[in-house]
Structure 1
Amino acid sequence: MSTTVKQTIDVDVPLGAAYDQWTRFEDFPTFMEGVEEVRRTDDRHSHWRTRVAGVRREFDTEIVDRRPGERVAWRTVAGDVRQEGVVSFQSLDEAHTRVRVALEVEPHGMAEKAAHVMGVLDRRVKGDLKRFKSHVEEHAHAPGARRGPVRPGGAARAGAPETGGDTPVRPTPQEAKEAWPLPPPPDDRL
């Protein structure tokens, strides 16, 4: 039984600043409750160390879709945590951005299952987004974010042009289906 959480928050920074700050994964412990460390292991993979309710967990994630200035999608690939998620960014105007998070988590054990039924994960994500809002509004101009695209499946398509920097790369429908177990959300949903 998995749990899906969706939360949205508006931040008082331009879209580029919100996206850049979100892609600084190493900063997650400053605004995500229970996250002790996120260490980037390569361009698409990160190692996480968390402690929630006294239980320490370590797991690895993989970015399965990154569209600069638009969205970042990930999934766990190793460890005892099973989750998939996507965060998307929508410009409201030159100085404001809507940030949407959808997260699907498979709880372990009776305590986690009970916590999920009681909405604990939903409240945690909501709190994390509030702390992200404070964090990004304070640190909106920090350098060092990863902005380049990642294609679903991680490999270049045959015949696809090479891109760099901020050029989004759209996956084919088949690539999106294979690389992202959750159906890609319509633009108006996430």
Structure 2
Amino acid sequence: MSTVKEAIEVEVSLRKAYDQWTQFEEFPNFMEGVDEVTQLDDRHNHWITSIGGVRREFDTEIVDQLADDRITWRSIDGETRQRGSVRFEPLDDMHTRVELTMDVEPTGMAEKGADALGLIDRRVKGDLRRFKDYVESGGADSGGWRGRIRPEDPGSVL
């Protein structure tokens, strides 16, 4: 399993950065290779991705979510094995640090090769740059989910 950790500073308030990230169905607007995300309920999302000509469908479960602080998830089915956390830190009223940490288990020769070449790291870095552009330009600006999800199993959280 490979670990990727990247951070970026966005020129928006903490609340705006966090609220935009909770709009999972907007992810295809800034995440390369993400074709569609369907929010099934407060905890679960269905993903369709196309990366390097390989189409994958999988579901994720949010295991810990605290408004304006963090969202932690894990894949729960499908061929894609990953878990991750995004954290939000206010730098001042109009600047927020967004830090994304992901553990990804590449499957198949193409994905293992891409991982060995550092393509997963570059993709995450690019996704964060596109998120910065998206949120700073106003994004969907459709509010955010401000509920609390507590981990059922503390061992499942990064």
Which structure has more relative contact order (CA 8 Å, sep 6+)? It is: 2
The one-character-per-residue Cα deviations of 1:10-53 (angstroms, maximum 9, x if unpaired) are 00000000000000000000000000000000110000000011
TM-score after normalising by structure 1: 0.81
- Which structure has greater strand proportion? 2
Structure 1 pair 141–117 and aligned structure 2 pair: CA distance change class (3 A): closer
Is contact 2:26-2:140 (8 Å) kept?
no
Structure 2: any 5+ residue segments left out of the alignment?
A: none
Q: Structure 1: how far apart are the matches of 2:82 and 2:116?
A: 16
Letter in 2 for 1:57: R
Aligned residues: CA RMSD: 1.1
SS at 1:139 equivalent: coil
- Matched with 1:121 is 120
Count matched residues.
158
**2:31 is aligned with 1:32:** yes
- Matched with 1:93 is 92
Deviation at 1:114, TM superposition (A): 1.5
Structure 1: any 5+ residue segments left out of the alignment?
A: 154-174, 183-190
- Matched with 1:71 is 70
TM-score after normalising by structure 2: 0.96
- Matched with 1:169 is none
SS at 2:101 equivalent: strand
Q: Structure 2: how far apart are the matches of 1:144 and 1:137?
A: 15
Deviation at 1:140, TM superposition (A): 5.8
Structure 1 segments, 4+ long, off by >4 Å, are: none
- Matched with 1:176 is 154
- Matched with 2:12 is 13
Deviation at 1:4, TM superposition (A): 0.5
The structure with the larger Rg is 1
